[in-house]
């Protein structure tokens, strides 16, 4: 057994650097090994269980104002980038050392921020060795994060300077006005190959390719980014459906939350991954609200982050009444980068119709 | 001296390295390599244009009529070395130094093109303000996601030539390090009046980025094509996408005939661009989704002629729609939303790439009548107004791949006022 269980001491407080905080992977396999680009043959056009998942190592945490950041890493990963409806594979490079991940959340409400400007400069002895803007990414076990594969010159301790924000989605509710500024933080990165090689490696030899998802990895002090179950969201649940294997729920709040201009009913669309309830960000959604022969609303929805709704898409409409029909249209599929098991989902996205 | 290498290096690699290193020894070595056979400058300097920035007529043009930037460039920053305000003697010395450059080299792309500009920090030493006809605010961040260092040097000199040795020679002559230039006696230097505080060097033109891609910010796979004039692999400066010199020229007041200059320094981070993105994405984000969809761009884009085909393809007008329906918007597409009343762009780009500090960089030199024109163009390029599926940087033009590290604003006065001007010249 090579995996080391270096669990965080529970005493470490938010905002203090906490090295050696290893997340515990799901599955409990004792196997350890490098990331292999083995793929599921002919995967479904839906969320599916990948060939395997890997553990990740927490490197440290930091804060700036009310925002919190966690820096963690795993093996370099094959992943997919999206432009419009096109998907491209990012292959592993020999020089890639690790897959670096930044998790960001609001410290006051615990709300995870799945997309933002997030630019890192990795330096050592005052000299920058890597500078890049991270991709907004979805991973089954590593959740929503900002990440990329990174090539480091060798093992050792690096300073990772993070420039984060503004978040392009508007802040609402307790997050009104909280996401419009940029923040910065420095987190230490201890890179050692032995730590990396000791991370858990959990294959799914019998179930890979099935329509399911590996469970979120729990990390001490870091929210997984899961949205609450639909029934726990605020407001009136108008109905839900599925599009491109994303769960799409429509809710009506009696009034717009703080940070959202206008008078009327707030129509909130919560789009989430099946199984793990991660938000599906960087989509273009619009909605049509019909009342009999009348069109009450027919326009775009704005990506918004709310302390209870999390990341969602919303608009102010002139009331929602029994018998109304809400049609949610996906104008552009989520441009978020995907780890294995999410790369085929969320492309063929039909409208979702809900009758109130 | 140029970076030591075990293998023989190409002439252009040597020259670029010499320009980057600078100094009299590099000048001498570079001169030996290039041996430019250049005539001297004009005897009668009165024949030179009053607009310092009137370079276009002195540049080469390509088959499509686009102006071709001089291949080697440098931006030199100086502080005024004296206390208080410059004296008439200081002014005369600087003017004589500049005239020495003009006498030494012909004013064209093979010879020497240069401008001299002055920052808000320079004019701050005077009690009286600049006239209202000059818009020259202190440099500041121009996007909510950038945090550049503002440049506060007093004076900026932008040098350009197809010969690296000419750029180097001009710099050394200004600093008083050489006595003759192209066989012409150097009558004066700026030494004692101006102290150099920074130098930024670089290049633009086919083959030069490919020759200098062994830098941080470009992956080791040597992805930059031999026909690329810039690191990102595409040409820029299509004549229809450049502001005409006339429209970037200050029209009124004592500085009529001058212009304003924005000089920013950007780090380029092209690992993702070359190793994770595909050609479709590169064309969509550099130009416009329509260009990617229709395969309009071949190679570096020479086939586009004298226009990036923005208005022709309806790109600027479709920016919001593309953010929503295509999930991606182009850099040129967004920027082309900033246009003057006559439909022309607001800024004239004179930018160049750089391998200073062994790092892929872009020195973005832009001329415009007022700094507000630059700010408007940059805000259009930011795309922070766009909703849809694009991120703050992700799929949002080329913002993903660049970091602005410094910004500076300058007034480039007309030639007759180029030597340490007062803010309210008579």
| Residue A225 domain-assigned (yes or no) | no
| Residue A51 domain-assigned (yes or no) | yes
On whether both A174 and A302 belong to a single domain, the answer is no
Distance from the Cα of A70 to chain B's closest Cα (Å) equals 20
A282/B275 touch (CB, cutoff 8 Å), yes or no: no
**Which chain B residues have a beta carbon less than 8 Å from that of A146?**
none
Is B260:B367 a contact under the CB 8 Å cutoff? yes
Is B358:B338 a contact under the CB 8 Å cutoff? no
pLDDT of residue B9: 67
Is A57:A23 a contact under the CB 8 Å cutoff? yes
Last residue in a domain, options A203, A221, A244: A203
On whether both A37 and A172 belong to a single domain, the answer is yes
Residue B363: is its pLDDT beyond 70?
Answer: yes
- Please check whether residue A127 touches B, CB under 8 A: no
On whether both A77 and A155 belong to a single domain, the answer is yes
State which residues form the domain around A161.
Answer: 21-203
On whether both A196 and A265 belong to a single domain, the answer is no
Residue B63: is its pLDDT beyond 50?
Answer: yes
Mean pLDDT taken over chain B: 95
Distance from the Cα of A165 to chain B's closest Cα (Å) equals 6
Q: Which of the residues A80, A83, A349 would you substitute to probe the B interface, choosing the one with the greatest number of B C-beta atoms within 10 Å?
A: A83
pLDDT confidence band for A22 (50 / 70 / 90): very low
Q: What is the DSSP string of B285-313?
A: HHT-HHHHHTT---TTTGGGTT---SGGG
Residue A53: is its pLDDT beyond 90?
Answer: yes
Dihedral (CA of B365, B369, B375, B379) sign: negative
Is A191:A158 a contact under the CB 8 Å cutoff? yes
Nearest CA in chain B to A300: B388
Distance from the Cα of B212 to chain A's closest Cα (Å) equals 18
Residue A89: is its pLDDT beyond 90?
Answer: yes
Question: What's the domain count of chain A?
Answer: 2
User: Helices (DSSP H) in A1-98: which residue ranges?
Assistant: none
Residue A220: is its pLDDT beyond 90?
Answer: no
On whether both A295 and A195 belong to a single domain, the answer is no
The set of residues, in sequence order, having a beta carbon less than 8 Å from that of B308 and lying 6+ positions away, is B236, B238, B240, B241, B287, B301, B332, B336
| Residue A273 domain-assigned (yes or no) | yes
Residue A11: is its pLDDT beyond 50?
Answer: no
- Encode pLDDT of B125-156 as tens digits: 999 999 999 999 999 999 999 999 999 999 99
Q: Which among A251, A265, A271 is positioned nearest to A297, based on CA atoms? A: A265
On whether both A143 and A281 belong to a single domain, the answer is no
Is B208:B229 a contact under the CB 8 Å cutoff? yes
- Encode pLDDT of B376-408 as tens digits: 999 999 999 998 999 999 999 999 999 999 999
**Which chain A residues have a beta carbon less than 8 Å from that of B323?**
284
Last residue in a domain, options A168, A203, A238: A203
Instruction: Please count the other Cβ atoms lying within 10 Å of the Cβ belonging to residue A197.
Output: 14
Of residues B242 and A28, more confidence is placed in B242
Q: Is A175 left (phi over 0), alpha (psi -120 to 50) or beta?
A: alpha
pLDDT of residue B11: 75
Indicate which CATH number applies to the domain containing A74: 2.60.40.2480
- Encode pLDDT of B9-26 as tens digits: 677 778 888 899 899 888
| Residue A313 domain-assigned (yes or no) | yes
The residues pairing with A270 across neighbouring beta strands, listed in sequence order, are A249
On whether both A255 and A312 belong to a single domain, the answer is yes
Residue A1: is its pLDDT beyond 80?
Answer: no
| Residue A302 domain-assigned (yes or no) | yes
| Residue A8 domain-assigned (yes or no) | no
**Which chain A residues have a beta carbon less than 8 Å from that of B391?**
115-117, 136, 168, 282, 335
Classify residue B198 by burial, with Cβ atoms within 10 Å: 0-12, 13-18, 19+: middle
- Between CA B20 and CA B14 the distance in angstroms is 10
Q: Which of the residues A82, A117, A337 would you substitute to probe the B interface, choosing the one with the greatest number of B C-beta atoms within 10 Å?
A: A117
On whether both A91 and A132 belong to a single domain, the answer is yes
- Please check whether residue A97 touches B, CB under 8 A: no
Of residues A17 and A76, more confidence is placed in A76
pLDDT of residue A219: 84
pLDDT of residue A17: 29
On whether both A139 and A249 belong to a single domain, the answer is no
Classify residue B35 by burial, with Cβ atoms within 10 Å: 0-12, 13-18, 19+: exposed
Kindly state the tokens that stand for B323: 């953010």
On whether both A48 and A192 belong to a single domain, the answer is yes
On whether both A330 and A270 belong to a single domain, the answer is yes
- Between CA B373 and CA B346 the distance in angstroms is 6
pLDDT of residue A321: 96
- Between CA A313 and CA A269 the distance in angstroms is 5
Instruction: Please count the other Cβ atoms lying within 10 Å of the Cβ belonging to residue B187.
Output: 12
pLDDT of residue B16: 86
Kindly state the tokens that stand for B300: 């570096």
**Which chain A residues have a beta carbon less than 8 Å from that of B281?**
81, 83, 86, 88
| Residue A5 domain-assigned (yes or no) | no
B324/A168 touch (CB, cutoff 8 Å), yes or no: no
Instruction: Please count the other Cβ atoms lying within 10 Å of the Cβ belonging to residue A205.
Output: 7
Residue A34: is its pLDDT beyond 80?
Answer: no
Inter-chain CB pairs, A–B, below 8 Å: 119
Mean pLDDT for B92-107 is 98
pLDDT of residue A37: 61
Q: Which among A130, A133, A128 is positioned nearest to A118, based on CA atoms? A: A133
pLDDT of residue B387: 87
Residue B366: is its pLDDT beyond 80?
Answer: yes
Mean pLDDT for A158-166 is 97
- Encode pLDDT of B204-221 as tens digits: 999 999 999 999 999 999
Mean pLDDT for B228-234 is 97
**Which chain B residues have a beta carbon less than 8 Å from that of A117?**
145, 391-393
Residue A336: is its pLDDT beyond 50?
Answer: yes
Phi, psi of B375 (to 5 degrees): -60, -40
pLDDT confidence band for B29 (50 / 70 / 90): confident
Last residue in a domain, options A155, A188, A203: A203
| Residue A13 domain-assigned (yes or no) | no
Q: Which of the residues A91, A162, A168, A304 would you substitute to probe the B interface, choosing the one with the greatest number of B C-beta atoms within 10 Å?
A: A168
pLDDT of residue B46: 93
- Encode pLDDT of A179-207 as tens digits: 999 999 999 999 999 999 999 999 999 99
Mean pLDDT for A113-137 is 96
């Amino acid at each position: 057994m090579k995996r080391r269980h270096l669990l965080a001491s529970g005493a470490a407080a938010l905002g203090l650097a906490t090295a050696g905080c290893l997340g515990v992977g799901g599955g409990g396999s004792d196997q350890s090994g490098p990331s292999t680009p083995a793929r599921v043959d002919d995967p479904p056009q839906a969320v599916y269980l990948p060939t395997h998942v890997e553990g990740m190592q927490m490197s440290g945490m930091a804060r700036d104002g009310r925002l919190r950041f966690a820096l963690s890493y795993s093996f370099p990963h094959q992943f997919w980038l999206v432009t419009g409806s096109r998907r491209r594979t990012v292959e592993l490079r020999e020089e890639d050392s690790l897959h670096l991940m930044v998790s960001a959340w609001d410290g006051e409400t615990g709300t995870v921020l799945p997309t933002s400007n997030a630019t890192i400069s990795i330096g050592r002895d005052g000299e920058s060795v890597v500078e890049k803007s991270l991709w907004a990414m979805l991973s089954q076990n590593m959740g929503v994060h900002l990440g990329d594969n990174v090539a480091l010159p060798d093992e050792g301790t690096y300073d990772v300077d993070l420039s984060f924000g503004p978040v392009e989605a508007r802040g609402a509710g307790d997050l009104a006005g909280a996401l419009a500024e940029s923040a910065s933080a420095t987190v230490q990165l201890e890179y050692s190959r032995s730590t990396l090689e000791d991370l858990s490696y959990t294959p799914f030899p019998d179930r890979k390719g099935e329509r399911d998802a590996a469970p979120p990895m729990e990390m001490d002090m870091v929210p997984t980014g899961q949205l609450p179950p639909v029934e726990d969201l605020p407001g009136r649940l108008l109905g839900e459906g599925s599009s491109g294997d994303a769960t799409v729920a429509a809710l009506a709040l009696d009034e717009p939350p703080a940070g959202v201009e206008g008078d009327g009913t707030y129509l909130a669309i919560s789009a989430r991954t099946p199984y793990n309830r991660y938000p599906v960000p960087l989509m273009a959604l619009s909605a049509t609200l019909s009342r009999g022969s009348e069109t009450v609303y027919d326009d775009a929805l704005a990506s918004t982050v709310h302390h209870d709704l999390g990341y969602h898409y919303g608009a102010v409409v002139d009331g929602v009444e029994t018998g109304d029909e809400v049609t949610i249209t996906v104008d552009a599929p989520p441009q978020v980068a995907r780890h294995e098991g999410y790369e085929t989902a969320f492309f063929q996205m039909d409208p979702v119709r809900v009758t109130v | 001296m140029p970076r030591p290498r075990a293998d023989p290096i190409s002439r252009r690699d040597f020259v670029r390295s010499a320009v980057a290193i600078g100094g009299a020894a590099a000048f001498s070595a570079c001169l030996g390599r290039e041996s430019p056979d250049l005539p001297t400058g004009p005897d009668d300097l009165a024949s030179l244009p009053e607009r310092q920035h009137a370079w276009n007529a002195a540049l080469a043009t390509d088959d499509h009529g686009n102006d071709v930037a001089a291949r080697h460039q440098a931006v030199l920053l100086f502080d005024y070395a004296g206390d208080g305000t410059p004296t008439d003697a200081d002014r005369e010395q600087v003017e004589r130094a500049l005239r020495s450059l003009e006498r030494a080299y012909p004013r064209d792309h093979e010879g020497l093109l240069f401008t001299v500009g002055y920052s808000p920090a320079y004019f701050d030493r005077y009690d009286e303000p600049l006239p209202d006809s000059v818009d020259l605010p202190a440099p500041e961040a121009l996007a909510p996601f950038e945090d550049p260092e503002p440049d506060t040097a007093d004076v900026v000199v932008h040098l350009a030539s197809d010969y690296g040795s000419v750029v180097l020679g001009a710099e050394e002559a200004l600093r008083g390090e050489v006595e003759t230039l192209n066989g012409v006696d150097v009558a004066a230097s700026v030494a004692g009046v101006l102290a150099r505080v920074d130098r930024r060097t670089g290049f633009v033109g086919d083959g030069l980025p490919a020759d200098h891609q062994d830098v941080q910010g470009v992956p080791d796979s040597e992805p930059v094509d031999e026909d690329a004039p810039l690191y990102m692999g595409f040409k820029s400066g299509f004549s229809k996408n450049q502001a005409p010199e006339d429209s970037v020229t200050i029209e009124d007041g004592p500085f009529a005939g001058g212009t304003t200059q924005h000089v920013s320094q950007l780090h380029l981070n092209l690992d993702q661009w070359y190793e994770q993105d595909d050609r479709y994405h590169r064309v969509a984000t550099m130009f416009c989704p329509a260009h990617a969809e229709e395969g309009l761009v071949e190679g570096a884009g020479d086939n586009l002629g004298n226009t990036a085909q923005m208005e022709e393809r309806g790109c600027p007008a479709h920016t919001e729609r593309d953010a929503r329906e295509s999930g991606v918007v182009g850099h040129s597409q967004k920027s082309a939303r900033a246009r003057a009343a006559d439909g022309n762009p607001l800024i004239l780009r004179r930018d160049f790439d750089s391998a200073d500090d062994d790092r892929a960089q872009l020195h973005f030199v832009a001329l415009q009548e007022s700094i507000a024109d630059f700010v408007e163009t940059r805000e259009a390029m930011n795309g922070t107004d766009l909703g849809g599926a694009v991120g703050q940087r992700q799929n949002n033009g080329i913002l993903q791949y660049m970091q602005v590290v410094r910004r500076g604003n300058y007034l480039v006065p007309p030639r007759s006022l180029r030597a340490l001007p007062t803010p309210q010249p008579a």
